[in-house]
Amino acid sequence: MCARAQSDPFSSLPGQAVAGNGSARAQTVDGIAARIEDDIITESEIRELGAFQQLVDGKSKTRAELINELADQWIVHGEAAAAKFPEPSATDLDRAYAELVKQFRSPDELQKRCVEADLTDEAVHRLLKQQLFLSHFIDYRFRPAAQVNDEQIQAYYRDEFAPQLKARGQAVPPVEDVEDTIREVLIQRAITDRATKWLDDTRQRLRIDVVSPGSTP
C-alpha cells in the first residue's frame, strides 16, 4: 500500500512499489501521488489500494482518504521496522485468503472480480498480507493499554448488546455468559481509538505534499 510501507507498513513486501526499494521502483515507470518526508506514494499504489477496497468492501475511499491511509501505513512501517515486528505467517495468510473467498459465491467468482478490478492473484495475497501486518502490529502496540473494567462491560451490555438482540427478537443471555465477548469488543474499540489518535497526531507532524492528478511532480 504505501511507498514504504505498510498496508502496510511494509516496504519490505515483494512486489510493492515502496520507497526504500530502489530496484523495485526502477522497474516501474509510475506517477508520484504524494511525497512523504523523503519517500513517495505512487499513483499505482493508490489505484491498487482502491481496487482492493472495492473488491473486499464493495466500495473504495476517496483519493485523499487513500493517500492518508497509505501515509498511515508508512508510519506503521517505521514503527514496526524499529520493533523488528514479524510478518504474518503463511498459515495466517492462508486463513485470511480463505475468509476472502467465502465472501464470494465461488473461487471462480473471486477470480473474475479480481480480473475486473485489474488485480492479480499475487497482488491480492500481498495486500492481504499487508492488511494482516497492519492489524497485528496495531494490536501489539495498543492492546496492553486497552484496559476494560466491569462497569464498562455492564454499560455496553445494558445500552448496546441487550437492546440490539431485543430489536431482532432474540433472547438476551445473562451478562456472565457474554462477558468475555463484550470485553474483547470493548478492547478492540479502545485499540482503534488509540491507534487513530496516534496516527492522526503523527501524520500532522510529517511533511506530506500531495501532487494533483495529472501534474508533473
Over the chain (217 residues), what is each successive 10-residue block's mean pLDDT?
A: 35 34 47 93 95 92 94 94 94 96 94 94 94 96 95 97 96 96 97 96 93 68
pLDDT of residue 214: 64
Task: Give the count of domains, the chain.
Answer: 1
- Residue 168 domain boundaries: 5-210
* HSE value, Cβ hemisphere, 13 Å, CA-based, for 123: 19
| Per-residue confidence (pLDDT) for residue 30, from 0 to 100 | 80
- Find the Cα–Cα–Cα–Cα dihedral 18, 22, 26, 28, rounded to 10°: -10
Query: Is 45 part of a structural domain of the chain?
Result: yes
Nearest Cα to 124, choosing from 68, 59, 51? 51
What pLDDT, on a 0 to 100 scale, did the predictor assign at position 176? 96
CA atoms of 107 and 186, how far apart (whole Å)? 34
Alpha-carbon dihedral sign for residues 135, 136, 138, 139: positive
Residue 55 Rama label (left phi>0; alpha psi -120 to 50; beta): alpha
Rounded-to-integer distance, Cα 86 and Cα 88, Å: 7
Q: Is 216 part of a structural domain of the chain?
A: no
Which residue blocks in the chain are alpha helix, DSSP H? 22-26, 43-57, 63-82, 90-101, 107-116, 121-142, 150-156, 162-167, 175-205
3-state DSSP assignment of residue 117: coil
Closest CA relative to residue 71, chosen from 214, 189, 217, 209: 209
Write down the pLDDT at residue 19. Answer: 38
Grid cell for residue 78: 517505521
Please list, in sequence order, all residues whose beta carbon lies within 8 angstroms of the beta carbon of residue 6, skipping any fewer than 6 positions away.
Answer: 73, 74, 76, 77, 80, 130, 133, 134
Instruction: Report the distance separating Cα 116 and Cα 105, nearest Å.
Output: 16
Is residue 215 one of the residues assigned to a domain?
Answer: no
| Cell 503523527 belongs to residue | 202
Q: Where residue 40 sits, what CATH number does that domain have?
A: 1.10.4030.10
Residue 151 included in any domain: yes
